[in-house]
A and B are shown apart, each in its own frame.
Chain A
Amino acid sequence: MEKAKQQPRSITYVAAITEGVRAILNEQDNAFVAGEDVAGAGSVFGYYRGLLAEFGENRLFDTPISEKAIMGLGVGAAATGCRPIIDIMFMDFIAECMDEVTNQLAKMRYMFGGAATLPVTVLTMSGGGMNMAAQHSQCLEAWLAHLPGVKVVMPATPYDAKGLVIAAARDNNPVFVVLNKLSLGIRGEVPEEVYEVPIGKANVVREGSNYTIVAVSRMVHEAVKAADELAGLGLDAEVIDVRSIQPLDTALIIKSVEKTHRALVVHEAVRFGGIGGEIAAQIQELAFDHLDAPVARVGAPFSPVPFSPVLEATYMPNAAKIVAEVRKTLEI
């Protein structure tokens, strides 16, 4: 299913999400979308726009501003036969319902000895770069990936956004689809047909022979830019889009490192305690003998996301920082 055949058609990341959700609402009678301003406004990011008119208010509805109850609605409804698509507007607000996620959603099936099935899909928006300051810009995916029982995918392209939304909603487990603000306007080829991007499969977006950059979400695009620059330094960098951080496609990453012998992991989230640490650890565990250099990491510095444009620009990981880190590690 992954390689859908159709003539090329370019749409935005936002439109791709809409198509994914539409496909699911068409396909699954028990699916519904619940969240703040998802119906009337079609989400403040616009990715449900038009769906209310198509599917009606039983399938998409605006909830009160009550994240704990919204997530609980998802848990209870999923446990009893629905397939909820829960929208948590900004990822920062996941903190409001983190108990519901951590202590209920993630563990209910296990605690019940496998008796409960929780096909909950959570769509939420992460990322900085828009001067939205400390409470509307965070990347908290590592919190989620740390929880046995949930899956976490992070599309970087319109193609993956649609395919991962569909795969997430068809999955019988809780899946977080962590979206990215600065990616909303990105255009890319997206087939009109319904397709899945399998959860847990990474993607080589640029092939290379002597350096591996493992990138998360929007950092994929920065990594590709960095790879172009690194070419000038004699490095032929391979860029891997992890697409899913839980489960993580360790096999693909290791295969690449066995070929290139050097690796860097990049994400927008704070570097300390970020998923990059886990990926780097796995690389050194599983490919130690292949490594010619320490595994490098690029992530945000250890501070909240600042408001001031100058400080936020300093804060955000980007291609230049990737290049600088590569040069530092390789001493070139």
Chain B
Amino acid sequence: MARQPVRRARTNGTKSEAKSATRSATKGATKSTAESTTRGTAKRPANTAAKSPAKSSKKGRARSPARRTAKSRSAAETGTRSATSGPSDRVLQELHLRMARIRKFEEAAGGLMEDGKIPGALHLYVGQEAVASGIMQHLSDEDQITSTHRGHGHLIAKGGAFPEMFAELFGKASGYCKGKGGSMHISNMSLGMLGANGIVGGGPPIAMGAAFSNKFRGTDRVAVCFFGDGASNEGSFHEAANMASLYKLPCIFVCENNGYGEYTAQENHQAIRDVADRAAGYGMPGVVVDGMDVMAVYEAAGEAIDRARRGDGPSLLEAKTYRFFDHVGMRGMGLTYRSDEELEAWRRKDALLSFEAMLLDMGVMTKRKLTSFYKKLDEELAAAIQFAEASPFPDPSELLEDVYSVA
């Protein structure tokens, strides 16, 4: 194949990312020194990530738990709030829980799809867990999100229950959408999850609308919109970003840049390396963050979300990340559009595993606790799958229900 996007992408990434790190570090004028330091730390891994994930594993060890702990604690001592103070053990454990739940769910769902048990197409979130988890840690059920075709992780991080999720993927009546939506339209209004979306770029305008509603109704709720690097080329994103900024809406645009839109590498679909650069065109802050570092995501998200809640308007947060499986399913169509080395390099940055290592190091987690944690998670998964498999399919008469509201 003629395309060698990856190599070029890496070199390009080096410069522009360094730039945007500086930019974002200097941008937020309201930030205290302590805050900027923390943000700087959060950002450094992003640079190494896109520069060369291979090398970053070394760096990854350098930004070891011990160092981070020290940093976080010192930030905590400054007495500033959530984003800058060292997160409590509870927060750390919840971040871990969210990531682990996503990982386990997706691996199980992917396997069931590959075995032909789950119909249709699943776009798996494995590799990107830190993004959904770090952001959702700041949200309540009253805050809304819009998701993408790769939406299971967002719903899980927002509190989605395994049984109803599996049931939906199986097309069962007990699913979150009564089996009508499936993976690509999975949603739960009471959790503030306004849907996965089969339309690339479908989310941003809807999130902007939800943010408008939050403001219009006088709440302090925020709407977060997840979208991919590929989706950042849809007009819908640009139109939504402009309006959100114009109306100072509590909307956070989160670009999960995994380097590819389907089988097309980023360098073949846009001439910039940092989607965050696009924020400037709409007069909002644009921040690049290491999407393989849940703490970095958590910190950056905290600032963007606080800003939105304060009424200071939208932000664009770009998380550099990677999907570990293929575009669809686990194995995919067997196309060679990215190299094994690249995949391996990113896998070495595995957000879940590195965070676990950090928690063990910090003593927030022990090996024994981890073992029983996963044992329980496996049991929960098995029970959820059993529930889904045992659930009935919707009655054919359901077909014409829900097309219109009849109330």
Report B-chain residues with C-beta under 8 Å of the C-beta of A222. none
B261 at the interface (CB under 8 A from A): yes
Report A-chain residues with C-beta under 8 Å of the C-beta of B178. 308
Q: Are A133 and B399 in contact (CB under 8 A)?
A: no
Stretch at the interface among A34-42, A75-83, A101-109, A257-265: A34-42
Q: Are A311 and B184 in contact (CB under 8 A)?
A: no
B220 at the interface (CB under 8 A from A): no
B180 at the interface (CB under 8 A from A): yes
Closest A residue to B178 by beta carbon equals A308
A residues 262-287 in Cβ contact with B at 8 Å: none
Q: A65-B230, A306-B399, A311-B399 are in contact. Are A133 and B198 (CB under 8 A)?
A: yes
Q: A306-B399, A309-B119 are in contact. Are A134 and B185 (CB under 8 A)?
A: yes
Q: Are B269 and A65 in contact (CB under 8 A)?
A: yes
Distance to closest chain B CB from A226 (angstroms): 21
A30 at the interface (CB under 8 A from B): no
**A310 and B393 alpha carbons, distance in the complex (Å):** 7
Closest A residue to B402 by beta carbon equals A303
Report B-chain residues with C-beta under 8 Å of the C-beta of A40. 1, 3, 263-264, 268, 335, 337
B363 at the interface (CB under 8 A from A): no
Q: A93-B199, A136-B184 are in contact. Are A309 and B393 (CB under 8 A)?
A: yes
Report B-chain residues with C-beta under 8 Å of the C-beta of A311. 171, 179-180, 393-394, 396, 398-399
Report A-chain residues with C-beta under 8 Å of the C-beta of B64. none
B400 at the interface (CB under 8 A from A): yes
A96 at the interface (CB under 8 A from B): yes
Q: Are B119 and A41 in contact (CB under 8 A)?
A: no
Q: Are B179 and A92 in contact (CB under 8 A)?
A: no
Report B-chain residues with C-beta under 8 Å of the C-beta of A309. 119, 171, 393
Q: Are A133 and B2 in contact (CB under 8 A)?
A: no
B381 at the interface (CB under 8 A from A): no
B residues 319-371 in Cβ contact with A at 8 Å: 333, 335, 337
Contact digits for A55-75, partner B, Cβ 8 Å, 1 yes 0 no? 011000011111111000000
Q: A96-B199, A303-B403, A311-B399 are in contact. Are A37 and B269 (CB under 8 A)?
A: no
Q: Are A44 and B234 in contact (CB under 8 A)?
A: no
Q: A131-B182, A311-B180 are in contact. Are A65 and B200 (CB under 8 A)?
A: yes
Q: Are A44 and B262 in contact (CB under 8 A)?
A: yes
**A130 and B198 alpha carbons, distance in the complex (Å):** 14
**Count: A-B pairs, CB below 8 Å:** 129
Report A-chain residues with C-beta under 8 Å of the C-beta of B269. 62-65
A288 at the interface (CB under 8 A from B): no
Distance to closest chain B CB from A80 (angstroms): 23
Q: A40-B3, A57-B2, A303-B403 are in contact. Are A308 and B180 (CB under 8 A)?
A: yes
Distance to closest chain A CB from B178 (angstroms): 8
**A238 and B292 alpha carbons, distance in the complex (Å):** 62
Q: Are A314 and B396 in contact (CB under 8 A)?
A: yes
A residues 17-46 in Cβ contact with B at 8 Å: 36-37, 40-41, 44
Distance to closest chain A CB from B402 (angstroms): 8
Q: Are A136 and B179 in contact (CB under 8 A)?
A: no
Of the candidates A41, A63, A64, A135, the one having the most CB atoms from chain B within 10 angstroms of its own CB is A64
**A44 and B329 alpha carbons, distance in the complex (Å):** 14
B150 at the interface (CB under 8 A from A): no
A52 at the interface (CB under 8 A from B): yes
Contact digits for B262-286, partner A, Cβ 8 Å, 1 yes 0 no? 1110001110000000000000000
List 10 A-B residue pairs with CB atoms under 8 Å apart, sorted by A's residue number. Answer: A68-B235, A93-B199, A96-B201, A133-B184, A134-B198, A135-B185, A135-B197, A136-B198, A306-B399, A308-B178
**A→B interface (CB under 8 Å):** 36-37, 40-41, 44, 52, 56-57, 62-69, 92-93, 96, 130-136, 301-304, 306-311, 314-315
